[in-house]
């Protein structure tokens, strides 16, 4: 994820965005409000897919109302709930959403998805971080640096969902390791 695009929605749900930042800010506010209302009403965290579905219904409504344009934002939602455990969803500007084990949004996402389909094999957390860097390395038009890349990991600890953003040093280490692998592969 390019820097400053990871948003905490509730205790158990985080998202990232690609598209028009002003539209993203409006949608993030909607998501946070719905999650807070649900917790206030029911005393528990909102199920991940229900939150995604609420937003996608709103996004889809904007595709049908005269005089309004659709929101120009795709979102990735990562979360955990007691019903389905860990979940990853993607929604597009039209309001369609799908669940994934691994996916990408944003610039050059088709190439990234193609690479994920080839490389994804139920990785460990460490392998998943390396795969994320590999996908970014091969599909972005810019040189990867820890200033341009922000990575987060969603885990469960002591019954709570924890979203940890990797430090700049951790991201830099992953990038350097991948850079060395690329150099070794070129040398062969």
In a domain, 125, yes or no: yes
**Cα–Cα distance list, 2 to 5, 91, 106, 140, 144 (Å):** 7, 18, 10, 10, 10
Q: Which residues span the domain enclosing 85?
A: 6-187
In a domain, 27, yes or no: yes
Q: Which tokens belong to 101?
A: 């084990």
CATH number of domain containing 80: 3.60.20.10
Chain segment 110-141, per-residue pLDDT in tens: 999 999 999 999 999 999 999 999 999 999 88
What's residue 155's pLDDT?
Answer: 94
Can you tell me whether residue 157 is helix, strand or coil?
strand
In a domain, 155, yes or no: yes
CB atoms near residue 46 (< 10 Å):
25
In a domain, 50, yes or no: yes
In a domain, 100, yes or no: yes
Average of per-residue pLDDT across 95-105: 95
In a domain, 1, yes or no: no
In a domain, 117, yes or no: yes
What is the pLDDT of the chain when averaged over all its residues? Answer: 93
Highest mean pLDDT among 4-13, 60-69, 75-84: 75-84
Using pLDDT thresholds of 50, 70 and 90, give the confidence band for residue 186. Answer: confident
Sign of the dihedral through C-alpha 137, 87, 157, 44: positive
Using pLDDT thresholds of 50, 70 and 90, give the confidence band for residue 68. Answer: confident
Chain segment 28-59, per-residue pLDDT in tens: 999 999 999 999 999 999 999 999 999 999 99
What is the number of structural domains in the chain? 1
In a domain, 25, yes or no: yes
């Amino acid at each position: 994820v390019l820097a400053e695009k990871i948003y905490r929605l509730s205790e158990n749900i985080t998202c990232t965005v690609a598209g028009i930042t002003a539209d993203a800010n409006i949608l993030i506010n909607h998501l946070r409000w719905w999650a807070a209302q649900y917790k206030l009403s029911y005393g528990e965290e909102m199920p991940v897919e229900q939150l995604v579905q609420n937003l996608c219904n709103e996004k889809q409504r904007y595709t049908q109302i005269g005089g309004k344009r659709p929101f120009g934002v795709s979102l990735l939602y990562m979360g955990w709930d007691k019903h389905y455990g860990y979940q990853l969803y993607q929604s597009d500007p039209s309001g369609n959403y799908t669940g994934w084990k691994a996916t990408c949004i944003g610039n050059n996402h088709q190439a990234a998805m193609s690479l994920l389909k080839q490389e994804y094999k139920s990785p460990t957390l460490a392998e998943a971080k390396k795969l994320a860097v590999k996908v970014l390395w091969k599909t972005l038009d810019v040189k990867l640096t820890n200033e341009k890349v922000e990575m987060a990991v969603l885990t469960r600890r002591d019954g709570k969902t924890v979203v940890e953003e990797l430090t700049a040093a951790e991201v830099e280490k992953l990038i350097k390791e991948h850079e060395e692998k690329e150099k070794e592969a070129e040398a062969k």
